[in-house]
Amino acid sequence: MTITRSEELTITTKELLMCLHKMAEVLEANREYLTSLDAAIGDADHGINMDRGFKAVLAKLPSVEDKDAGTILKTVGVALVSTVGGAGGPLYGTAFMQAGMAVAGKYELEPQDVLAALDAALKGVVMRGKADLGDKTMVDALTPAVNALRRALENGSGLTEALEQAAAAAEQGMKDTIPMLAKKGRASYLGERSIGHQDPGATSSYLLIRVMADVARELQTQQEP
């Protein structure tokens, strides 16, 4: 990491790789939790899917560790699409592939690049899954996160603070899925019975953004005297 202007973090590809490793760790640790959420309104595989997908990602990362951030993120997306079935794999796969396109060729990500990547990820999920806000999906965690990140950067916050706000917004978005009636994916088959349960995909989205905020915080702290 280098600090450019007043405490502005930039994320190197090495740090991006570290972040992806941490995402895999957190998904492994939350495998049962995510699966139990999916047991209530789906088919009890979301934690298994995400863990399997990110294990496949970890196996692929060594082959791209010298590449640009775009190539790394696209590789993550392809690994997810090709190893995870159901809705989650293609949706997260598209998200990472689109994020990769947004930062193609870059070896260092500035705060605006992180915003562009997350925004592209969200647009990818919406393009692929056609979910609206309020349909009780990962879109309900990702949308407030991207909005909070954009707002914080516009207001002059550094990346660490902006990602912290994005994680807080994603957490709120995740909790807000509890009273929602599912309109997309397997949970929608339950109709009214989907009400009262937290959406698994919104939960994994929150966990991934939480990792981004934690990694940024860690890098920032390391740099401070």
Question: Which candidate, 9, 22, 14, 44, places its Cα nearest to that of 186?
Answer: 44
Place of tokens 């997309």: 184
| By the rule CB under 5 A, 53 interacts with Mg ion | no
CB of 184 to Mg ion, least distance (A): 12
CB of 43 to Mg ion, least distance (A): 4
Instruction: Count how many residues are written for the chain.
Output: 225
| By the rule CB under 5 A, 140 interacts with Mg ion | no
Considering only 22, 123, 186, 217, the residue that binds ligand ADP (CB under 6 A) is 186
156 Rama sector, left if φ>0, alpha if ψ -120 to 50, beta otherwise:
left
| By the rule CB under 6 A, 124 interacts with ligand ADP | no
CB of 187 to Mg ion, least distance (A): 9
Listed in sequence order, the residues at least 6 apart from 177 whose beta carbon sits closer than 8 Å to its beta carbon are 136, 137, 140, 141, 198, 199, 202
Angle at 115 (CA atoms; ends 157, 13), nearest 5 degrees: 100
CB of 74 to ligand ADP, least distance (A): 20
| By the rule CB under 6 A, 207 interacts with ligand ADP | no
144 Rama sector, left if φ>0, alpha if ψ -120 to 50, beta otherwise:
alpha
Closer to ligand ADP at the Cβ: 100 or 173? 173
Contact string (CB under 5 A) for Mg ion, positions 4-43, x = contact: ----------------------------------x---xx
Beta bridge partners of 3: 9
Contact residues for ligand ADP (CB under 6 A)?
38, 42-43, 45-46, 49, 86-88, 91, 125, 129-131, 137-139, 184-186, 199-202
Contact residues for Mg ion (CB under 5 A)?
38, 42-43, 45-46
